[in-house]
Structure 1
Amino acid sequence: MEPTASTVEDMEKMEIEEALSLLASTRERCSEMLQGTPRGHDLSLRCLEFLEKELSYIVACLTAMSLEHVNGETLEWAEKLTSTVSGDLSSALDEADPQRPYTLLRRAAQCFQRKDRQPNQLLSAVAELYRLAESPCRYNHLLTDVTIRGWCEAAGDYEDSGFNPVRFNWFEYRYYSFPYGTYLLALYMVMFPYGHKFEKDGLLVKWVCETGMIDRFMGSEEDVFFSKLVHRSVITHTADNSRHIEADEAGTWQWNVNHLDHQFYASRSAEIGYVYTSTTLNSIAAAAVADRSNEITRSQIQIARRLALYDHHPKILSLLQNLDLSQTRSLAVSGAVSIGSFPLEKFVNLVVLDVEGWENFKDEDLVRVCRSKMFFLVYLSIRNTQVTKLPPEIKELYSLQVLDASNTQVTELPMDIMELRLRRLDLRGTPIRQLTESKQILRLHSCLQTLLLGGEGMISSTETATRMPHDLWHFWYLCTLATVDLREQPASFTRALGDLHFLTVLAITWSFHQSSDIDYCEALLSSINRLSKLESLTIHCGLGCSMDFLDSLSRPYWVLKKFKVTLGRFACVPQLFHEFTGLSFVQITVCKLDAHDLKILRGLGVLKCLVLGLDFIPKEAIVINNEGFRALQRFSIYCPVPWLTFDTEAMPKLTYLQMEFHACPTYPVSVPMGISNLCNLAKVALWYNVRYANNSSIKRTVEAVKEEVAKCRNTMQMPSLFINGIEQGDVEEVDEETGSATGAPSGTCARSEDDVQDVKETTKA
């Protein structure tokens, strides 16, 4: 007999009440343990203080929920809370109870004196509760708009069932038709100021740290969320008018948030207390000044869980001085925000601190952060600041797992950083040229999973790469290593790369003389052949290096998704591509390209981005027919002469075409043709040296491309044209019957919706 609706409601109500009772009693226990104990920076005391407040907020959240907000996910959340509180947390509280033989203070002191610096039991239990506290269920009842809640809950089913959204309001569809996790990620993206260029990995690493999923970092779920936002054009590429659109060694294609979406999600984030930005805080501060009796407005920001401050507003700084910021878990500050009166010391329980681009943040401010005893801080970014030194006090950031010091003037890693258990370390764009010796990294190598070195911008990384210690095998758990400088290392060091069996992303620098030295070539082949999990391989070569020896790779790489070689060249398209069936990103330079070579490239069934260099002048047109390239979305070609012909229905999903060419003597017919046959094309970019703008071959190529783009208007396409990074506002329309130009302006292009089902394949290195 199936239970009735009333019986189910009674059971759900009982489960929630049981969870409330347990949480409330645990909060009372924390309060009792704190009575008569002096408050301070002690780790265990701070854990108890945090628990007392956080449990109060969770109890209030569950109490505010009516049965209409209770669903399977809510009950699962309550069950996990109950299990954690009655299990690990209860045991940890027993261990920390001052009534036991050792006092709370003595136990805390012992914890700090331990040589292994492992987090104690109470800190681990608190971290788990902190993760559960930020479950999406926490905000479900705050989405009081029934339409929003309905869209968020049912969007997944709608998208899978082929529903017809025409009968719905398109404004609602754009903003609310996401699964709830995707919707929260959209809300979280307002932590970036509008117009800020960010990297996919950087965003997702911050988000998983902030939501407590650090143990698995970026999983498939986060990639799905990101892909849905790209598919809906909430976030878009920012590098389409750049000369170098290809991803670099860390897969860092840049993105930003659509302006209207940024405004909308900033407003919605503030409404439910998810994120407060400078703009929303300034509005609330102004309202509080105008109406001091408005207690509802004032109470909205009593629990400031996330703050993103981009601009200097004296009202905001004054407001922050009067708020309880002890439960704020994420803080992002950038721009010209004044630091003199900024209450950094009040953010004691931060999990994520991002000061990237904060103009006023200097060495002494980093010391302030470290001395504030932010025991729960997992993620710290000082990227693009004036910091020149990592202080010894950084070891007091007890839980730190992600450190981004890129684009700073930091010259060395202090000994004290080795006491941390970092999982991700970003030192790109710093003057650091040599990592410390292995005796100092015994703790660092045991947990480090991502190590980013050298320059951030492709070719520059070959000039500024940081040297690794010789005993590379210590970094056993590395999954991402970019960029390791091999130019001055012995062949044995290159061979040792193969011992890093968990590597999925590898970027190296390689000199001209190494490509002609059989020992070095065999060492590199040996290493790559042993990296069975490798998904991305990037090799920055010396100019003109012959890389044909890579064709001797002996095993099929079914998992390899990205293959990139810069400056080096191949005699023809590598035969090894027959085995790399999963490649979605390829960048190579070849000395010939015939029908057989094109057939190999067409055989890459999931190829989405192709960057192809031609180190020769073609004697006939390179014809791209309607076979193969079914998934290709972005095509860049670097060559003396872009003599390309695109047949009807060629590259059906191509949205971006880039051509960089030189001033070479050519026949009048050796110009691109058939661009109008690219049915999904959204953008075309031409690059050439402006010194040769009046060269006849340059002028013929530009005019031919303009005519092809103009033809697209007759097929309802409106691709935009960029020449040397500048968008061309007027492209003549061509009458297909007469072949003459009509002189009508093409106007502003409309971006065609990319068919992005799995953004991870084109952006992950």
Structure 2
Amino acid sequence: MQVAAGGMSPLLRKLGDLLMAELSLDKRTRKGIESLRRELPVMLAALHMVGEVPPEQLDPVVKAWAHQVRELSYDMEDAVDAYMVRVEEEGHKPANLKNRVKKFVRKTSRLFTKGKDLRQIVTSIDDAQDLAMQLDELHQRYGLDLHGANAAAGASSIDPRLMSMYKDVRELVGISGRTKELIDMLFAPDGSEHRLKTVSIVGFGGLGKTTLAKAVYDKIVRSHFDCGAFVSIGRNPDVNKVFKDVLYGLDKQKYDNIHNTARDQKHLIDEVRYFLENKRYFIIIDDIWNEKMWEIINCAFPENNRGNRVITTTRIISVSEKCCASHLGIYKMKPLSSNDSETLFYKRIFNDGKGCPQHLLEVTKGILKKCGGVPLAIITIASLLANKQVRTEEQWSTVLKSIGRGITEGGTVDDMRKILSFSYHDLPPHLKSCLLYMSVFPEDDNIRRDRLIWTWIAQGFVQQKEAEENSLFELGERCFNELINRSMVQLVDFDYYSEHFCRLHDMVLELICSLSREENFVSTLDDVGQSTCLQSKVRRLSLQVQDCRIEHTSPLATIDLSYVRSFTGLSTSINLIPSLSRFHVLRVLDLEGCDFSEGGNPSLRHISKLFHLRYLGLRGTHVGELPKGLGKLRFLQIFDLEDADIKELPSDVTQLGQLRCLYVDFMTRLPKGMGHLKEAQVLSGIDIGKCPDLVRELRNVTGLRELHIKWDVSAHIESKKTLQGILVESLSSLNKIHTLTILSTSRQSLDVMGECWVAPPHLRRFELYGDAYFSRMPEWIKRDPLLLTELSVLRIGFDGLLLQAEDMRILGMLPALAILSLFAPSKMLLKQEAMPMVERLWLYTSVRKMIDDGSYDPGLGLVNLLSLEHADVMLMRDNAKVQEVEQVEAALMDAIRDHPNHFTLKLW
């Protein structure tokens, strides 16, 4: 129910904006809005309280009340937005007499429409005030119900993770190798053998962190230590109880009655420290959820130089980092291998623990693929199938199709969902909304980070606070990173162009799909009947039909789309996309990947009537042509036309005053007047050779943060040198730029930029692609690399330049450099302690010259990049013998063995 709370925040802001903008509101309406602005925060606080209680423990009356509040907040926001759309339309004055006459006729007819919008607002206010009165009436019982539910939960709820602590080690699969790895980390000969050392196990819920920690504890606690304790703390721990549990674990006889004594926190910490003062101890703190909790617990562990060891487990990356002195102390849980997954699966289903019948082999592979090596998922699905008396391929196929989209059977399935729901319920309301929205994407989909963040922004999930300096996209990045940090979303290795992708584990998708249905947050129409489109008011619709037969068109034809705020279409369901005229309050239209050129071309002619639209995603549609009237979309913020094959952008696009982000193709010609887009933060796919006017106008787009351009300037436009100079001047005026990407398909020098450009203070990424180059290290880097405090991604190429030690020293001074892609023929020996932050490295170098100058011998110095995790090395083999290529490759492989991270290396 906290999703409702997350959705109410933008409504509060809009009501405030409405009061300030519309002095013409009648007295009753103004008074109602002012009253509502006082009532909504109280209701918001109540929804936060409701959200803290698992849905199954909520009083049905309270649950119904929260549902009404959520739906009402949607309706009210729609009414306010509809009113503001009318105001926006009337605020644009026509330019000539003929248009003014038309405007007058339209205005008189719209008085009734505007009145209708106001009546909707008034009706919503009345409904909200009724709900506020209900809250007053229920408040006393509401509070008691909540506390009672929590108490009941504490008394009767069984934590399903407890079972993993008492497994017979012989039942465990894949545990021996992990146990050895963890023990090796604990006792690594790194000079700290006698000091207190903490190792943190981090990973996704259900990977077996607790199981592994317990296996290690049981194996070494008695043989290597004087005493030990294993304590699980959970999401909302009682700190005093944690210390009492530690004491009881250390000496059960001495502290037999500790839980019945009243002691304050300081007394308990002192007691733990006193007990451990002269002992060698091994303590495991399982399931830590926040950094502050660890700081408090850690106070109890004294340093006595006896080789003490502590293991923590957590789902949250930042917590694991807080627990350890360095990243070398973090143990990242990995999924089970394919063989171990099969073994675990078969042991749960077949009594002999051996392979399954031949007719079930293929469907088993599909099930295990969806389980993704997560032991909890494998055990859950296997237990589900083990209960079937008759094992048919049809039965197993039904289970396979249901994974990720709504397993409903109980038992261990409930246990699995409960474990995952711990992470979900720990999220703040706005992150709940962001996560639940990801259920619009199909399973196994790799989701573009920027697409996800911009759709969050378009729907108001990401909000700026007063005096907030960060842009909405930067706030959206924080949300994205926090979901990664909490292990709810998996970051997929980014591509060659450093674009980030993410995905959801199928079990997380199952959880959020189920919650979305309960909350009426996302409605999905797909092939397996998991359709929630029969809800009276569909708010967000995802069309994921793979099989576009006639039976799938029927439910779609009967759905009322007038309340839909977000519509996402899958490429395979392009023929089922409904007429856009049926959407009345649509804010997000995401058709990315729906290829219009492959037949089944849905009409876009009604797009100009989607007045509420904030996000229009046509990437990869190859639509070829845009309808007229796009300038009417006054609220449009994100316009994505990459790979849409649009040759020329309509001139009225320059009227989109709220446009923040525009993606086009390099083939797309832009109209004059793009400098009017004062709110633009991202311009991508701009060929400056096709848009010489934009070169001059860029300096007016002062809020620009990302710019992706093609730098191919033909001499016939005007003086090539002059136009390049104008571009550099314009770029130097854009002080907020943090990402600049340049593509060139012609061999040309960018030295004019290297010498004259002044890099903005917050530059994070500079990437050069294609055939353009610098003939020497750019002045904007050499001038003072220490001032480029945020430059973390650098992709740069040189023409024939042998980079010397001084050049590498300059690059090594960049304080935040994490990703480096370097094209230079030779001499790229990386010195000791150079580039301490670099995690990913792309190198392009010549085998012949590496042999000649001897730089291959120490493996290019890769062993000196202490944070390196992955390196791609492209070896140009021109004029090199096979034996010489093998010699260089062997030296690079030696660098991996000598590196503390044992980074991954890819040779091209």
TM-score, normalised on structure 2?
Answer: 0.52
Sort the Cα spacing of 1:599 and 1:688 in 2 relative to 1 into closer, same or farther, 3 A: closer
- Say if 2:831 is the partner of 1:624: yes
Structure 1 residue aligned with 2:355: none
- Say if 2:587 is the partner of 1:378: yes
Report if aligned partners of 2:658, 2:679 keep a CA contact under 8 Å in 1.
yes
Sort the Cα spacing of 1:588 and 1:450 in 2 relative to 1 into closer, same or farther, 3 A: same
Sort the Cα spacing of 1:434 and 1:118 in 2 relative to 1 into closer, same or farther, 3 A: farther
Structure 2 residue aligned with 1:588: 796
Written as runs of structure 1 = structure 2, the 5 A alignment for 1:110-509 is: 151=235, 155-156=289-290, 158=292, 161=295, 166=311, 176=423, 179-181=427-429, 182=431, 185-213=434-462, 218-231=472-485, 234-239=488-493, 244=496, 246-247=497-498, 252-257=499-504, 259=505, 262-263=506-507, 265-270=508-513, 273=515, 275-276=516-517, 304-308=520-524, 312-313=527-528, 315-316=529-530, 320=532, 323-331=534-542, 333=544, 335-336=546-547, 338=549, 339-343=552-556, 345-355=559-569, 357-362=570-575, 365-366=576-577, 368-372=578-582, 374-387=583-596, 388=601, 390-421=603-634, 422-437=636-651, 440-441=652-653, 443-444=655-656, 446-454=657-665, 464-490=666-692, 492-509=693-710
Which residue, 624, 627, 633 being the options, matches 2:839?
633
User: Following TM superposition, by how much is the alpha carbon of 1:448 offset from its aligned partner in structure 2, in angstroms?
Assistant: 1.4
Distance 1:218 1:709 in 2: 41
SS in structure 1 opposite 2:530? helix
Structure 2 residue aligned with 1:103: none
Select the structure that is richer in helix: 2
Distance 1:353 1:701 in 2: 53
Structure 2 residue aligned with 1:529: 732
SS in structure 2 opposite 1:346? coil
Distance 1:130 1:639 in 2: 69
Report if aligned partners of 1:606, 1:631 keep a CA contact under 8 Å in 2.
yes
Q: CA RMSD in A?
A: 5.1
Aligned residues: 557
User: Following TM superposition, by how much is the alpha carbon of 1:585 offset from its aligned partner in structure 2, in angstroms?
Assistant: 1.6
After alignment, is 120-129 or 427-436 more displaced? 120-129
Report if aligned partners of 1:390, 1:414 keep a CA contact under 8 Å in 2.
no
Distance 1:213 1:381 in 2: 18
- Per-residue Cα deviation, 1:581-640 (whole angstroms, up to 9, x for no partner): 4312211102331122122212211122211111x3x2x56233214x232222211222
SS in structure 1 opposite 2:747? coil
Written as runs of structure 1 = structure 2, the 5 A alignment for 1:32-181 is: 65=50, 151=235, 155-156=289-290, 158=292, 161=295, 166=311, 176=423, 179-181=427-429
Distance 1:562 1:253 in 2: 14
Report if aligned partners of 2:796, 2:822 keep a CA contact under 8 Å in 1.
yes
Report if aligned partners of 1:209, 1:352 keep a CA contact under 8 Å in 2.
no
Distance 2:647 2:115 in 1: 30
Sort the Cα spacing of 1:556 and 1:429 in 2 relative to 1 into closer, same or farther, 3 A: closer
User: Following TM superposition, by how much is the alpha carbon of 1:558 offset from its aligned partner in structure 2, in angstroms?
Assistant: 0.7
- Per-residue Cα deviation, 1:693-712 (whole angstroms, up to 9, x for no partner): 98333322333333333455
Report if aligned partners of 1:693, 1:699 keep a CA contact under 8 Å in 2.
no
Report if aligned partners of 1:641, 1:670 keep a CA contact under 8 Å in 2.
no
Sort the Cα spacing of 1:381 and 1:639 in 2 relative to 1 into closer, same or farther, 3 A: same
Report if aligned partners of 2:838, 2:867 keep a CA contact under 8 Å in 1.
no
Report if aligned partners of 2:713, 2:720 keep a CA contact under 8 Å in 1.
no
Letter in 1 for 2:830: V
User: Following TM superposition, by how much is the alpha carbon of 1:392 offset from its aligned partner in structure 2, in angstroms?
Assistant: 2.2
Distance 1:116 1:696 in 2: 81
Structure 2 residue aligned with 1:558: 761
Report if aligned partners of 1:152, 1:180 keep a CA contact under 8 Å in 2.
no
User: Following TM superposition, by how much is the alpha carbon of 1:560 offset from its aligned partner in structure 2, in angstroms?
Assistant: 1.8
Distance 2:629 2:753 in 1: 41
Q: Which has the larger radius of gyration?
A: 2
Sort the Cα spacing of 1:678 and 1:485 in 2 relative to 1 into closer, same or farther, 3 A: closer
Unpaired runs of 5+ residues, structure 1, are 1-15, 24-50, 97-108, 277-299, 455-463, 645-663, 725-765
Distance 1:584 1:169 in 2: 28
Report if aligned partners of 1:130, 1:212 keep a CA contact under 8 Å in 2.
no
- Say if 2:894 is the partner of 1:707: yes
Letter in 2 for 1:255: C
Distance 1:588 1:129 in 2: 61
Sort the Cα spacing of 1:266 and 1:695 in 2 relative to 1 into closer, same or farther, 3 A: same
User: Following TM superposition, by how much is the alpha carbon of 1:522 offset from its aligned partner in structure 2, in angstroms?
Assistant: 1.4
Distance 2:624 2:906 in 1: 40
Distance 1:526 1:594 in 2: 30
- Per-residue Cα deviation, 1:350-382 (whole angstroms, up to 9, x for no partner): 221111x331313xx44x34121x222111111
Letter in 2 for 1:205: W
- Per-residue Cα deviation, 1:100-129 (whole angstroms, up to 9, x for no partner): xxxxxxxxx969858999995577899999
User: Following TM superposition, by how much is the alpha carbon of 1:417 offset from its aligned partner in structure 2, in angstroms?
Assistant: 2.6
Report if aligned partners of 2:608, 2:633 keep a CA contact under 8 Å in 1.
yes
Letter in 2 for 1:587: R
After alignment, is 699-708 or 589-598 more displaced? 699-708
Distance 1:545 1:347 in 2: 53
Structure 2 residue aligned with 1:460: none
Structure 2 residue aligned with 1:570: 774
Sort the Cα spacing of 1:611 and 1:167 in 2 relative to 1 into closer, same or farther, 3 A: closer
- Per-residue Cα deviation, 1:193-218 (whole angstroms, up to 9, x for no partner): 33211121111222333455478983
TM-score, normalised on structure 1?
Answer: 0.61
SS in structure 2 opposite 1:392? coil
Report if aligned partners of 2:654, 2:674 keep a CA contact under 8 Å in 1.
no
Letter in 2 for 1:266: L
Letter in 1 for 2:888: T
Distance 1:404 1:184 in 2: 20
User: Following TM superposition, by how much is the alpha carbon of 1:183 offset from its aligned partner in structure 2, in angstroms?
Assistant: 5.5
